Structure 1
Amino acid sequence: MTDAAQLTILVLEDQGLVRAGMRELIRIAQPRARILEAASYEDAVTQLEAGRVDLAFIDFDLKSEKTGLDLLHYLRQRQIETRAIMLSGSAERQLVLDCLNAGACGYIPKDMSSDGLFQRALDTVFQGGIFVPVTAMARDGFSAPAVTPRPSVPAQSLGVSGRCLEVLYYLCQGLPNKAIASKMQVEEGTIRKDYVPKLFRIFQVTRRTELLVEVSRRGVIVPPLPAGAEAGTKAGGGR
């Protein structure tokens, strides 16, 4: 994550009171961050076009023709490097997976008001972890945990290192293979045929959405890239 003093965070939420509550919770977790607010899809696009936004908390249901998912598509189609976390009143598993598949790197249900769960979800996101509700965590051979874990397991401890760790970082930012390849200065096929399958094997999954859910389920910490990492060459780094 960017230094908290430099973080710019956008909150897209059509309800003013909910937006204000989100703003205060974010200030508790990141007191030095710059917080932008938007009440509609159009407001959010204006904010995104005005300057860099590191994190965007996006309400799914905006009570208008455009939804939060439309803004997520806007971000990914233009390869805007904003880490997007969806907010919704629904924790239905398919909706969570649809958002992850569209490029979200987290999903927080709005009803997580008890026992500080919403604040814990924010803390997970700000630590660089992936947060998804427990409803999305059950998969073949695994049961959902009783609660979503805080990030605690370094990705390196699972055997993810070098350029493979870079790819995992970018996947957790919601970037598509083409954008990842451009950043790492390699062919897209190298990402798709080499690094991504290796990560799938490590996490015992077969899809990108499953990978993100598994990162969340295990509480894996994916560290930010060191300064200058994006300037690496095709020959740089290990696997």
Structure 2
Amino acid sequence: MKIKIMIVDDQRLMREGLKTILDLEEDLTVVQLGENGRDALDKIPSVQPDVLLMDIRMPIMDGVECTRIIKQQYPDIKVLILTTFDDDELIIDALKNGAVGYILKDFSSEKLVVAIKDVYNGNFIMQPEIAAKVISRISGKAKESVCYNTDAGLNINLDLTDREKDVLKLVGKGMANKEIANKLYISEGTVKNYISNLYSKLEIDDRSKLTIYAIKNQYI
């Protein structure tokens, strides 16, 4: 079964070029194109994409706001931010609102294909230079929680078990549940249980925020 992709970018040449590239892959298919966040929200119900490639700065509705709404209304859709902008505020805003990755448009087509497949399979994707910006930003503002609706990001002394810390570390590195299970020699079901426990203890409700928490509190 092919991975269904939607591309949202205000530059026609960019979205059509990406479509041409991605449609060459046997296991990928671009099912829709969008000009901005509002256009994307209007079109999503008719195509139900698995992965949405989202630009971040667009007219009418930007990628951050669109991602927030998508994660509320369509929590199973994976939003991968693809942009020319590497502003740290935008990076953190996008991740806080549910994006599962943030990559720049200078990414090679081969790496983009791999990134799409990775996020579809549950991985968290971030280029090293983007990760460095996030870590620098968070470390520089230790009193600012990037996990909204919670102060968990301020507390590194919560009552986590050693195994929960192990799982948190690997989530922070972007590993999928299967990879974590293999690394720790436990079942995927057990990994899911540990992640559920982490959500509860840290008052976090999705994997991107859990990843940010791990980075903020230097678990990786």
Q: Same fold (TM over 0.5)?
A: yes
Please give the secondary structure, in 1, of the residue aligned with 2:13. Answer: helix
SS in structure 2 at match of 1:95: helix
Q: Which residue of 1 aligns with 2:77?
A: 82
Looking at structure 2, the residues matched to 10 and 212 of structure 1 have their Cα atoms a distance apart, in angstroms, of 29
- Tell me whether 1:165 sits opposite 2:191 in the alignment: yes
Unaligned runs of 5+ in 1: 141-148, 172-180, 182-188, 201-206, 219-239
- Cα displacement string for residues 101-125 of structure 1 (whole angstroms, at most 9, x for unaligned residues): 110001121133xxx3x43133133
**Higher RCO, Cα 8 Å, sep 6+:** 1
- The residue that corresponds to 1:23 in the other structure is 19
The residue that corresponds to 2:115 in the other structure is 124
Matches of 2:124 and 2:198, distance apart in 1:
25
Could you say if the C-alpha distance between residues 91 and 119 of structure 1 is closer, same or farther in structure 2, counting changes exceeding 3 Å?
farther
State the one-letter code of the partner of 1:121.
Answer: L
**Aligned AA for 2:126?**
V
Tell me by how many angstroms 1:19 deviates.
0.6
Instruction: Find the partner of 2:201 among 155, 173, 193.
Output: 193
**What CA distance in whole angstroms lies between the structure 1 residues aligned with 2:214 and 2:50?**
19
- Tell me: CA distance 1:119–1:92, structure 2 relative to 1, closer, same or farther (3 Å): farther
Q: Identical aligned pairs, as a percentage?
A: 16
Counting only pairs closer than 5 Å after superposition, residues 140-159 of structure 1 correspond to structure 2 as: 154-159=179-184
RMSD: 3.7
The residue type equivalent to 2:41 in the other structure is V
Shift of 1:78: 1.9
2:129 equivalent to 1:135: yes
Aligned positions of 1:174-189 closer than 5 A: none
SS of 2:111 mapped into structure 1: helix
Q: CA shift at 1:126, angstroms?
A: 0.7
**1:211, distance to aligned residue in structure 2 (A):** 6.1
Q: Deviations over 1:22-75 (max 9, x none)?
A: 11222233455242111122321121122422111111111x131011110111
Alignment partner of 1:69: what SS?
A: helix
Alpha-carbon spacing, 1:212–1:194, altered in 2? closer, same or farther (3 Å): closer
> Quick one: which amino acid aligns to residue 189 of structure 2?
R
| 8 Å CA contact 2:181, 2:188 repeated in 1 | no
Q: How far, CA to CA, are the matches of 1:89 and 1:131 in structure 2?
A: 16
Shift of residue 194, structure 1, vs aligned partner: 8.6
Contact 2:78-2:99 within 8 A present in 1 as well: yes
Supply the distance in 1 between the matched residues of 2:4 and 2:179 (Cα, whole angstroms).
Answer: 26
Q: 1:46 aligns with which of 42, 45, 53?
A: 42
Segments of structure 2 that go 5 or more residues without pairing to the other structure are 137-172
TM-score when scaled to structure 2?
A: 0.63
- Residue by residue over 1:156-215, the C-alpha shift from the partner in whole angstroms, topping out at 9 and shown as x without a partner, is 2332634343368xx8xxxxxxxxx7xxxxxxx78412998xxx9xxxxxx61336879x
Q: TM-score, with normalisation over the residues of structure 1?
A: 0.58
Deviates more, 1:64-73 or 1:93-102: 93-102
Counterpart in the other structure of 2:141: none
1:66 partnered with 2:57: no
User: Is the partner of 1:74 in helix, strand or coil?
Assistant: helix
Match of 2:211 in 1: 209
